């Protein structure tokens, strides 16, 4: 048997069937990527997709039987990664012709065990950055074109697309990283035999020609790796308490429950609570008079409490107890006549709330330079407080500058930077000592998450903040063989699990933990939502 590897300008004819893999790069190395397409036109489009030099393009032929025969040959074929490319039918609502589907799981319609494609979210992110509309989910392979009731039954299983070859072809991956990228050409509303089918097919093929850069980045990032998880990471006690406050409020009061600002700084948390009936507002004038409103974990100024009382709102306060500690210190220091220097970031909700406790007495400084230039009425009566989510080392630099400027200055009785912030920064430093790259999971408006990136970069290690696995750029991974993962205190743990799973799909990997200790702190819920 001979295996046909079609050139971009000379695709094989439709009768191609049996092959043996012999293709190599010009320097004699085996091809890194093997791309398999079922149909002649799909292979032709793949050949024009700007794939890595030396990529092997294999045409299997249409249907599960030919795909299974090809898979048996692919098991022994050279190549570090396998990509199945072609067109498909859309099953899920919102999956439209021209959209790209990347399989995170491939199912055999006959009931065989599904095959996972862990790196799908990473590849999907790269495709989206090319301007394509991409869906990630299960693809199911069937023996004949699905129409009518058959399509409805497949959609009911949760599959988002259907084809006739992928399940059989991924069986030839033989443990290699595997991707399945299909372009939708038909749906229940726009079937294959309908007006516009030819146009949709042509659009699908042209879309395939655009996926090459993403596949190139994907295969370039395939490697054997070590993954290091920083511990602690993700939710802290204050965040868990705040989320539970909203959940309990929904249970007790029903929908809607209003929340002023984001309950914690994470878009995934907010979206989840919105899906359950919480309504997030920026200010209280958006809340109907007499409604129930939750104040976020970051705390609010006394003027916000006054406004809530004026509108007769039922308030449930989810302020983190460690933030409330800083508020209490501000009130105490102000009452004794001190000028209070608040070290923090202008515009952060926690800082706004603390400033509001004593606006005539508190001065905000963000840097050592600002501290050295600060003027106060009585240098002998100066105290300082801190935002709870600062970088420990940078905050100490500001304190040192304040002590030089005001030798009599005093600080709080106990540290303002919270235990969770300090612990996560210590853990990410431990990971950075071994890593080539550190990925921090968290939202861009999360102060403690941003600080983890900054702390890592000050250790001389590349670090990036990502909202979820889809934001990881494959180019970051390519040179890295040891990757550290941490997450801000407001980032859900499952986002770290998704990222770890996806990275493990990029080649053989080991996962281990680098810990600076565990956290066993918990906080009581507000009386308004406690169970009897």
Q: How far does CA 332 lie from the centroid of its chain?
A: 41
Catalytic residues: 350
* 36/33 Cα distance (integer angstroms): 10
Query: Scanning the structure block, which residue is given the tokens 């599960």?
Result: 64
**Omega before residue 329 within 30° of 0, cis:** no
Using only the alpha carbons of the chain, give its radius of gyration: 28
Residue among 97, 96, 100 at smallest CA distance from 185: 97
Query: Scanning the structure block, which residue is given the tokens 């909202």?
Result: 467
Return the bridge partners of 316, or none: 294
| Helix (H), strand (E) at residue 486 | strand 482-487
3-state class of 206 per DSSP?
helix
Query: Alpha helices, DSSP H only, in 336-384?
Result: 349-355, 368-373
Cβ distance 95 to 73 under 8 Å?
no
Residue among 452, 518, 509 at smallest CA distance from 175: 509
* 19/38 Cα distance (integer angstroms): 14
Q: How many residues does the chain have?
A: 532
- Neighbouring C-beta atoms of residue 193, cutoff 10 Å: 8
Contacts of 137 (CB under 8 A, 6+ apart): 92, 101, 103, 104, 105, 158, 159, 160, 161
Say what the alpha-carbon torsion angle 303, 305, 310, 314 is, to the nearest 10 degrees: 160
Could you write out the DSSP letters of every residue in 274-307?
Answer: HHTTEEEESSGGGSPTT-EEEE-TT---HHHHHH
Contacts of 345 (CB under 8 A, 6+ apart): 351, 366, 387, 390, 447
* 507/273 Cα distance (integer angstroms): 35
**Token pair belonging to 416:** 């303002």
* 473/149 Cα distance (integer angstroms): 40
Query: Scanning the structure block, which residue is given the tokens 């990222």?
Result: 499
* 47/58 Cα distance (integer angstroms): 10
Question: Which phi and psi (to 5°) does residue 394 adopt?
Answer: -70, -40
């Amino acid at each position: 048997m001979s295996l046909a590897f079609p050139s971009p300008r000379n695709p094989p004819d439709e009768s191609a069937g049996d092959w043996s893999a012999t293709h190599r790069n010009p320097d004699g190395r085996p091809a890194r990527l093997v791309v398999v397409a079922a149909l002649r036109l799909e292979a032709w489009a793949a050949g024009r997709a700007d794939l890595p030099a030396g990529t092997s393009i294999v045409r299997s032929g249409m249907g599960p039987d030919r795909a299974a025969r090809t898979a048996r040959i692919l098991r022994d074929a050279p190549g570090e990664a396998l990509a199945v490319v072609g067109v498909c039918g859309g099953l899920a609502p919102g999956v439209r012709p021209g959209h790209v589907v990347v399989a995170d799981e491939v199912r055999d319609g006959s009931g065989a065990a599904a095959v996972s494609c862990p790196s799908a979210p990473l590849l999907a992110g790269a495709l989206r950055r090319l301007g394509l509309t991409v869906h990630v989910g299960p693809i199911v392979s069937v023996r004949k074109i699905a129409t009518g009731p058959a399509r409805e039954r497949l959609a009911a299983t949760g599959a988002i697309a259907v084809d006739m070859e992928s399940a059989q072809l991924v069986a030839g991956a033989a443990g290699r990283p595997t991707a399945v990228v299909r372009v939708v050409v038909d749906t229940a509303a726009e079937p294959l035999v309908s007006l516009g089918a030819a146009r949709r097919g042509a659009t699908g093929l042209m879309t395939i020609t655009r996926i090459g850069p993403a596949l190139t980045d994907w295969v370039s990032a395939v490697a054997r790796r070590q993954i290091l998880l920083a511990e602690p990471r993700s939710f802290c006690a204050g965040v868990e308490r705040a989320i539970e406050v909203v959940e309990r409020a929904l249970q007790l009061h029903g929908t809607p429950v209003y929340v002023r600002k984001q309950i914690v700084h994470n878009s995934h948390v907010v979206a989840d609570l919105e899906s359950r009936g919480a309504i997030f507002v920026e200010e209280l004038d958006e809340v109907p008079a007499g409604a129930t409103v939750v104040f976020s974990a970051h705390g609010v100024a006394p003027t916000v409490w006054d406004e809530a009382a004026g509108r007769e709102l039922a308030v449930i306060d989810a302020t983190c107890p460690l933030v409330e500690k800083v508020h209490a210190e501000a009130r105490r220091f102000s009452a004794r006549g001190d000028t209070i220097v608040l070290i923090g970031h202008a515009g952060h909700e926690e800082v706004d709330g603390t400033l509001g406790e004593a606006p005539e007495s508190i001065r905000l400084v963000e840097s050592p330079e600002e501290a050295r230039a600060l003027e106060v009425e009585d240098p002998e009566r100066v105290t300082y407080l801190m935002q709870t989510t600062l970088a420990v080392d940078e905050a100490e630099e500001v304190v040192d500058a304040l002590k030089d400027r005001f030798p009599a200055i005093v600080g709080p009785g106990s540290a303002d930077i919270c235990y969770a912030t300090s612990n996560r920064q210590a853990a990410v430093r431990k990971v950075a000592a071994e890593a080539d790259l550190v990925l921090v999971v968290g939202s861009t408006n999360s102060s403690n998450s941003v600080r983890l990136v900054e702390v890592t970069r000050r250790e001389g290690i590349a670090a990036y903040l990502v909202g979820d696995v889809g934001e990881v750029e494959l180019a970051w991974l390519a040179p890295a063989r040891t990757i550290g993962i941490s997450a801000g205190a407001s980032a859900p743990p499952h986002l770290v699990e998704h990222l770890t799973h996806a990275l493990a799909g990029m080649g053989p990997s080991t996962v281990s933990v680098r810990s600076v200790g565990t956290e066993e702190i918990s906080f009581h819920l507000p009386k308004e939502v406690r169970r009897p």
